[in-house]
Amino acid sequence: MTENLQQTEPQFEIIEVFNSIQGEGLFTGCPTTFIRLYHCNLRCRFCDTKPWEQKFQLMTSDQIVQECKSLLEVVFPHICITGGEPLYYPQLPVLLQALDKAFPVHHIHIETNGSAPYWRSDIVKDWPMGIQITVSPKTISWGLEHFLKGPYQWVSDIKFLVGPDGCQQYYDEFVAQGIPVFLMPIDKPELPYPYVVRIKESLQTAMKMLGQYPQYKLSLQLHKVLDIR
């Protein structure tokens, strides 16, 4: 990666590009190449990546594509743009178009909290066809009215974080749109215990909620269960 780039085309603040498996939501278990962006418009206390505490490098879309290709010469069939908050970046369509051109048979999706400035239906006009969005709302920071202004047709799944006290219940609106809803227990990574122990209280709450809303699904963080990146 190169930090000192000429300002000839849009650049992105990249923390890392790496191969792993998708550990959460609809695509759990899928081999995935992750592109992690730096900026996030939130500072959630329960965030387990805390991108604002990490270093980043400026890269163009072409350099990001080359970084993906350099990963052991294997670009996994799923490419996930995560963060941070990808929809903070107005230049995101440039990266999506570059990835779609370089890897036309791959599935590309974006992970967003749904509250960023560019979570609007009008931005998708510059996106390649087939891009999908996973929305993980942070109920402390935004309302249902804001989400309903977003591009529903691009959403593949919703992931709600569930703490010991539960979370706000916006679910019926999403199910009515035919969008799968997952409940994911909040982790406490600061505790010196295995993942399944750290989520015990939140998991109990999630299980109770599933009893009330059987149309939803439980999503654990599989990569943490397996202790992989």
200 within 8 A of 40, measured Cβ to Cβ: no
Q: Is residue 127 part of a domain?
A: yes
Tens digit of each residue's pLDDT (9 = 90 or more) over 119-163: 666 667 788 888 998 988 875 545 555 565 666 678 889 888 888
Q: Is residue 4 part of a domain?
A: no
Report the CATH number that the domain containing residue 55 is assigned in CATH. Answer: 3.20.20.70
8-state DSSP, 121 = G
Q: Is residue 3 part of a domain?
A: no
Whole-model pTM: value is: 0.88
**Residue 86: partners with Cβ closer than 8 Å, 6 or more residues away:** 37, 92, 110, 111, 112, 116
- In terms of residues, how long is the chain? 229
Range list of β-strands (E), the chain:
11-21, 31-37, 57-60, 78-82, 107-112, 132-135, 155-162, 181-185, 217-218
Q: Is residue 93 part of a domain?
A: yes
Q: Is residue 57 part of a domain?
A: yes
Tens digit of each residue's pLDDT (9 = 90 or more) over 172-214: 667 777 889 899 999 887 888 999 999 999 999 999 989 988 8
**How many structural domains comprise the chain?**
1
**Lowest mean per-residue pLDDT among 43-57, 73-87, 99-113, 206-220:** 43-57
Q: Is residue 66 part of a domain?
A: yes
Q: Is residue 143 part of a domain?
A: yes
Q: Is residue 6 part of a domain?
A: no
- Supply the range of the domain harboring residue 34: 11-225
